């Protein structure tokens, strides 16, 4: 039991640090998108990834940002010298979905909110973790929706969409979600 509590604390620590109220952070505190980049890193670590490359083709774990770039250097800084599923991480940015179809994670910017149904339909048969930070994303069929409530970053997970995409999300991550959609 003690071991389980310690493991849960270690797992939750990056998420709990990222959800510290802004007024309690030091003056050189992280910005909202620095915190969201840290969440994306932790999401990637708690998903079971099936191999996406064959015979050395596209050996990178790719994270794409579709639409207007909200992160600045936060994603690059967060993923520098990091690996996910044994592969080095590559950050890609594009204004069109076609350029990002080989990503393992796709962050859909608020600038794309009006086209979200079309984007999600185009990704329907792909094993891509979709993430966005605008209201209603998870209910619309996106996998992870980031929210800022009371100066804390929280997240919802659409487990049904994740399963349909062939992604297995760790129960530890599901337990940390503010809400899990299963229908």
**Residue 60 phi, psi dihedral angles, 5° rounding:** -85, 150
Stretch (H or E) spanning 157:
strand 152-158
What pTM did the predictor assign?
0.83
For residue 10, the model assigns a pLDDT of: 41
- Which residue segment(s) compose the domain that 174 sits in? 2-181
- Read off the CATH number of the domain in which 103 is found: 3.40.50.2300
Coil, strand or helix at 102? coil
> Per the structure, how many domains does the chain have?
1
For residue 62, the model assigns a pLDDT of: 95
Consecutive 10-residue runs of the chain (183 residues): their mean pLDDT? 39 46 43 96 93 63 96 96 92 96 96 97 93 97 96 96 95 96 90
Cα separation, 29 vs 165, whole angstroms: 36
């Amino acid at each position: 039991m003690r071991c389980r509590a310690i493991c849960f604390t270690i797992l939750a620590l990056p998420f709990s640090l990222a959800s510290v109220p802004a007024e309690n952070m030091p003056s050189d505190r992280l910005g909202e998108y620095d915190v969201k980049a840290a969440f994306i890193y932790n999401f990637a670590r708690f998903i079971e990834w099936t191999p996406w490359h064959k015979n050395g083709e596209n050996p990178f774990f790719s994270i794409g940002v579709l639409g207007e770039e909200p992160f600045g250097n936060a994603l690059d800084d967060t993923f520098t010298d990091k690996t996910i599923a044994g592969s080095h991480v590559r950050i890609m940015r594009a204004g069109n979905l076609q350029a990002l179809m080989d990503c393992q994670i796709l962050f859909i910017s608020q600038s794309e909110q009006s086209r979200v149904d079309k984007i999600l339909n185009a990704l329907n048969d792909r094993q891509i973790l979709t993430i966005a930070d605008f209201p209603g994303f998870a209910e619309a069929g996106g996998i992870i929706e980031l929210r800022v409530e009371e100066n804390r970053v929280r997240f919802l997970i659409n487990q049904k969409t994740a399963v349909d995409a062939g992604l297995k999300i760790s129960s530890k991550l599901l337990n940390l979600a503010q809400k899990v959609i299963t229908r």
